[in-house]
A and B are shown apart, each in its own frame.
Chain A
Amino acid sequence: MEMTIPVLILAIPLFMFLFLGLLGMKMSHKLAGTLGTLGMGTILVLSYYTAFQYFFSGAPEFINAAGERLQYLVFDQTWLQFTEKLVIKVGFFLDPISAMMLVVITTISFMVHLYSMGYMRDHHGVYEHGFQRFYAFLSLFSFSMLGLVVAPNIFQTYIFWELVGASSYLLIGFYYTKPSAVSASKKAFIVTRFADLGFLIGILVLSYYGGTFNFAELTSAPVEGLAGVSQVSLGTAEGIKAMFTNSAAPVFMGASVLTWALVLIFMGCMGKSAMMPLHIWLPDAMEGPTPVSALIHAATMVVAGVYLVARLFPLYLMETAALDIITVVGALTAFYAAMVACVQVDIKRVLAFSTISQIAFMMVSLGVARPEFHEGLGYMASMFHLFTHAMFKALLFLGAGALIHAIGSNDYTAMHGLRKYMPITHWTFLIGCLAIAGIIPFSGFFSKDEILSSCLGYSWVAYLWMSLVAGMTAFYMFRLYYLIFWWKEHETPEGHHAPHDQPWTMSLPLIFLAAVSCVAGFIPFGELVSWNGHPYDFMAHFDWSVAAVSLCVAVAAIVLATVMYRKENPLPSKMRNALPALWTWCYHRFYWDELYMFITHSIIFRSVCRPLAWFDRHIIDGTMDAFATVTNKVSEAIKPLQSGQIQMYVWYYLIGALALGVVTILCLL
C-alpha cells in the first residue's frame, strides 16, 4: 500500500485546522464551513478507500493465505528517541480495528461537518460567532482521533489521546462566554488528565519491562517475508509476560507488575471512556454544541478507551485479573448509567448517560472475552457494538440536536408531542431508539446480543446483569422517545414559530445514519474483525436463545415505557413517589459530582493547596524573610555597643582582648 493516502488522511485535517484556524477569520462563514466539510469529505473517501483496500483487496500484506487478517505498518517515522529501544514514532498502522475506526470516525465526522452547516446558524440563517473556529477545532479533532486509531505504538496513542482531550476541551468550551461551558470543558479536561496520569504511568511500566512502545512488538509476531506486517499473537504477549515475571520484582502490592501496568492503562481508558468513577465529565460535556456531542462524546473519542483495551487485548489476556477488573467496572458503570438515564430531564444528559452505559457494555464485552469461549466472541462483539453504537448514538444525538435547534431548549418538558411537527427527526430518532434498544433487525440487536452471549460464556451473573441493563436501556430510550414525541400535544410558546424540520444539511446525516443503523447489523462483522485476525463466522456462534431472551426483555421494557409515557398519565409520578430516595439519588446521579466537588474543592483545594500556599508564603518565605528580620533585630539589639562613650569602648576593648586570651588559654592549653 502506498504511503500517500495514509499521509493525506492525517495531513488534510491538520492542514485544515491550521488553515481555518489562522485564516478562518478572514474568510466568510460559509466558505470556511464548506471548505471544512469538503476537506472532511476527502478524508472520508480516502478512509473508505483505505478500509476497503484493507478488508477486501486481499493483498498479501493485509490477509494471509489462511484468510487471517494481518497488521500492516504503512509507515513509521521516528519522532523522538528516548533510548535505543524506546522510540516514539509517528506512523500509520492498519489492522482490522483501526480500519474499522477509520470508517467510523470519518463517517461520523463528515456527517457532523455537514450537519453543523445547518446547526450552527439560527433560524434566520445567521451563522454563529466563531463558526470558522468551530470547523477548525473539528478538523483538529478529526486529525487527533485519526492519529489515535492508526497509532502503531502506545506512545503515539498517548500523544493523540492528549490531543483529542484538548480538542474536546476546546469544543466543549466552544461557547466560551457561558460560564457553565467553561467549567464543563475544564472538568472534562482535568478528569481525563487525571486518568491519563494512570495511563502514562502504565505506559512507563509497560515500556520498561517490554522494552518497546510498539503495539506490534507488544502483541504481535512479525510475519515472515513481509516488512511491516505482523499478526496478533498470544505468543508475543506471553513473551512480554515472561519479561515481567522474570524480572526481580514481579509482584507489587499483591498484584503482578503487568497487572498493575494494564490496570493503570485501563485507568486512562476509564477516564476517556467515562467509566465510573471517572465518568463525571461526560454529562457536563453536553455543554458543547450538539454536533460535537455526537461526534466526540458519543461516537468516537469516548470509545477510545475501548479501542485501546482492544488494542492491547492480547496483553490483557495474559492477566485476566485486569480483565476481571474491566468487567466489574464496566458492569457497574452500565447499570449505574442506565439507572441515572431513567430519570433525567435534559435529553442530552439522557443520551450522555446512555452513552456511558453503552460504552460500559463494550468494556464488559472486552472484559469477558476469552479465547476459550466462542474464540473471543466478546472482542468482536465489543468492536461491533462500538461500530453500531457510533452510528445510532450519533443519529440520536444529531436528532436531539435537531430538536434542540428547533425548540431552543435541552429540556423534554419544553418538547412533548413533536412527532407531527418534525417527522424526519421523529422517524430517524425512532430508528435510533429501536437500534439501541436491541430490536431485531436494527443494528443494536446484533451487537448487543453478541455481547450478552459472551457474558453468558463468562458467568451467568454477568449475563443476567447485562440483560437487565439492556432492558433498562430500552426503557429509558423509549421513555425519552415518548416524552419528546408523544406524551401530550405540543404547545408552542407565544411569539414563536411552530417547530419544524431542519434544512437538508441536517436531515441528510440523520437519514443516512438511520439507514446505516437499519442495515449495519447485517454486516458480517466477524469476518472482518476478530481479536486475532482469524475470520470468525459469527452466525455460527449466534445464540438464538440469548437473542430471544434479550429481545423479550427489550420488548417488555418498551411496552413498559409505552404504558408509562405514551400519554400523559400519573404513573411516572406515582412511581417516583413510591421510591423517593431512589429517584432522588438517580436524579442527582448518585451525588458523584458533589463527591468530586468535595474532594477537589474541600480537600485538594482547601486542605492541600491553600495550606501549602500559606505554608509557602509564611513558613518558607517567612523563614527567608526571618533571616532578614533577625539580622535587623540583632543589628538593633547590639546598637548599645556603640554607645558613643569611649570608656565603654575601651571596656569592650579590654574585655575583648582578655577574652581572646583567656578563651584561647582554656581551649588550647
Chain B
Amino acid sequence: MESVGSIILYFIVALSMIVFSVMAVTTRKILRAATYLLFTLFGTAVVYFMLDYEFLGAVQIAVYAGGIVVLFVFAILLTSRPGDNTERLTSKSRMLGGVAAVITLIVACYSLVSRCALAFAQKPEMETPDMQQIGATLMGTGAGQYLLPFEAVSVLLLACIIGGVVVARKR
C-alpha cells in the first residue's frame, strides 16, 4: 500500500505528462512545443525517480532535458523566421492523425489491459541500484551485462557525429 503522498504525486505527474504531451503536439507555436516537451521529459524523469531508478532519472534530465531540448531550441531558432512560427493544421490531417492515434491507443491499451498479470502487477520491493552496480553491469561481459552494446553504441555515436558534420557542412 502506497502512501497517500506518493499517490498524489503520481497523479500530478501523470496528469502533467499527459497534458503536456497533448499540448506539445497541438500547440501552434513551435517553441512552446519544445517547452512542453521539456515538461514532459521532466515528468518522465520524476517517474523514473518514483520507480527508484535515480540514475536513469538523472540521465533523463541531463541528456534529454538538458541536451536534446536545447538542441531543439537552437534548431527552432535557426530555422524559424519571424511570422511563420505558427502553423495551421488541415482538418484532414487532424482526422488522419487522430484516427491513427486513437486506434493505436485502443488496440495497445486493450491488449495491454487484457493481459492482467502484466498490467495489474503490483510494485514489488526493490533495492535502488547503486552506481557501482550500474557501472559493473555496463562494463561487464557476463549475462545481463552490457559491454558490447556500450561499445557498439559508441560506434553509432561516432558515426552520427561524422554524419552530422558531413551533412551540416556547407559545401
A-side residues, CB < 8 A to B, are 647-648, 651, 654-655, 658, 661-662, 665
**Chain B residues whose CB sits within 8 angstroms of the CB of A661 once the complex forms:** 107
17 residue pairs from A and B, CB less than 8 Å apart: A647-B93, A647-B96, A647-B97, A648-B96, A651-B96, A651-B97, A651-B100, A654-B100, A654-B104, A655-B100, A655-B103, A658-B103, A658-B104, A658-B107, A661-B107, A662-B107, A665-B111
Report the Cα distance A654→B106, complex, angstroms.
Answer: 13
Report the Cα distance A648→B93, complex, angstroms.
Answer: 9
Report the Cα distance A9→B93, complex, angstroms.
Answer: 98
Report the Cα distance A658→B103, complex, angstroms.
Answer: 8
**Chain B residues whose CB sits within 8 angstroms of the CB of A648 once the complex forms:** 96
Within the complex, the shortest CB–CB distance from A43 to chain B, in Å, comes to: 96
Report the Cα distance A665→B107, complex, angstroms.
Answer: 11
Interface SS of chain A:
helix
**Chain B residues whose CB sits within 8 angstroms of the CB of A662 once the complex forms:** 107
Closest 6 CB pairs of A and B: A654-B100, A651-B100, A651-B96, A658-B107, A658-B103, A662-B107
Q: Mark B90-107, 1 if CB is under 8 A from A, else 0.
A: 000100110010011001
Report the Cα distance A654→B97, complex, angstroms.
Answer: 11
- Please tell me the number of chain B residues within 8 Å of chain A, measured between CB atoms: 8
Across the interface, name the chain B residue whose C-beta is closest to A659.
B103
**Chain B residues whose CB sits within 8 angstroms of the CB of A658 once the complex forms:** 103-104, 107
Across the interface, name the chain A residue whose C-beta is closest to B108.
A658
Chain B positions 101-136 with a Cβ under 8 Å from a chain A Cβ: 103-104, 107, 111
Report the Cα distance A113→B111, complex, angstroms.
Answer: 103
**Chain A residues whose CB sits within 8 angstroms of the CB of B97 once the complex forms:** 647, 651
Report the Cα distance A651→B101, complex, angstroms.
Answer: 10
Across the interface, name the chain B residue whose C-beta is closest to A648.
B96
Report the Cα distance A655→B103, complex, angstroms.
Answer: 8
Report the Cα distance A329→B156, complex, angstroms.
Answer: 101
Report the Cα distance A654→B93, complex, angstroms.
Answer: 15
With A655-B103, A658-B107 given, can you name 15 additional A-B contacts, CB distance below 8 Å? A647-B93, A647-B96, A647-B97, A648-B96, A651-B96, A651-B97, A651-B100, A654-B100, A654-B104, A655-B100, A658-B103, A658-B104, A661-B107, A662-B107, A665-B111
**Chain A residues whose CB sits within 8 angstroms of the CB of B96 once the complex forms:** 647-648, 651
**Chain A residues whose CB sits within 8 angstroms of the CB of B100 once the complex forms:** 651, 654-655
**Chain B residues whose CB sits within 8 angstroms of the CB of A655 once the complex forms:** 100, 103
Report the Cα distance A348→B103, complex, angstroms.
Answer: 94
Report the Cα distance A651→B103, complex, angstroms.
Answer: 11
Report the Cα distance A662→B111, complex, angstroms.
Answer: 10
Report the Cα distance A662→B103, complex, angstroms.
Answer: 10
Across the interface, name the chain B residue whose C-beta is closest to A650.
B100
Within the complex, the shortest CB–CB distance from B103 to chain A, in Å, comes to: 6
Within the complex, the shortest CB–CB distance from B91 to chain A, in Å, comes to: 14
Report the Cα distance A662→B96, complex, angstroms.
Answer: 19
Report the Cα distance A122→B71, complex, angstroms.
Answer: 113
Across the interface, name the chain B residue whose C-beta is closest to A654.
B100
Report the Cα distance A490→B111, complex, angstroms.
Answer: 116
Within the complex, the shortest CB–CB distance from A644 to chain B, in Å, comes to: 14
Report the Cα distance A655→B96, complex, angstroms.
Answer: 10
Q: Mark B24-66, 1 if CB is under 8 A from A, else 0.
A: 0000000000000000000000000000000000000000000
Report the Cα distance A647→B90, complex, angstroms.
Answer: 13
**Chain A residues whose CB sits within 8 angstroms of the CB of B107 once the complex forms:** 658, 661-662
Within the complex, the shortest CB–CB distance from B105 to chain A, in Å, comes to: 11
Report the Cα distance A535→B122, complex, angstroms.
Answer: 124
Report the Cα distance A516→B96, complex, angstroms.
Answer: 107
Report the Cα distance A661→B111, complex, angstroms.
Answer: 11
Interface-central residue, B93, B96, B100, by most chain A CB under 10 Å: B100
**Chain B residues whose CB sits within 8 angstroms of the CB of A647 once the complex forms:** 93, 96-97
Chain B positions 74-104 with a Cβ under 8 Å from a chain A Cβ: 93, 96-97, 100, 103-104
**Chain B residues whose CB sits within 8 angstroms of the CB of A651 once the complex forms:** 96-97, 100
Within the complex, the shortest CB–CB distance from B92 to chain A, in Å, comes to: 10
Report the Cα distance A538→B40, complex, angstroms.
Answer: 130
Within the complex, the shortest CB–CB distance from A661 to chain B, in Å, comes to: 7
Report the Cα distance A419→B151, complex, angstroms.
Answer: 128
Report the Cα distance A647→B87, complex, angstroms.
Answer: 16
Report the Cα distance A304→B100, complex, angstroms.
Answer: 88
Within the complex, the shortest CB–CB distance from B153 to chain A, in Å, comes to: 25
Q: Mark B137-158, 1 if CB is under 8 A from A, else 0.
A: 0000000000000000000000
Within the complex, the shortest CB–CB distance from B108 to chain A, in Å, comes to: 9
Report the Cα distance A233→B107, complex, angstroms.
Answer: 94
**Chain A residues whose CB sits within 8 angstroms of the CB of B104 once the complex forms:** 654, 658
Report the Cα distance A312→B171, complex, angstroms.
Answer: 104
**Chain A residues whose CB sits within 8 angstroms of the CB of B103 once the complex forms:** 655, 658
Across the interface, name the chain B residue whose C-beta is closest to A662.
B107
**Chain A residues whose CB sits within 8 angstroms of the CB of B93 once the complex forms:** 647
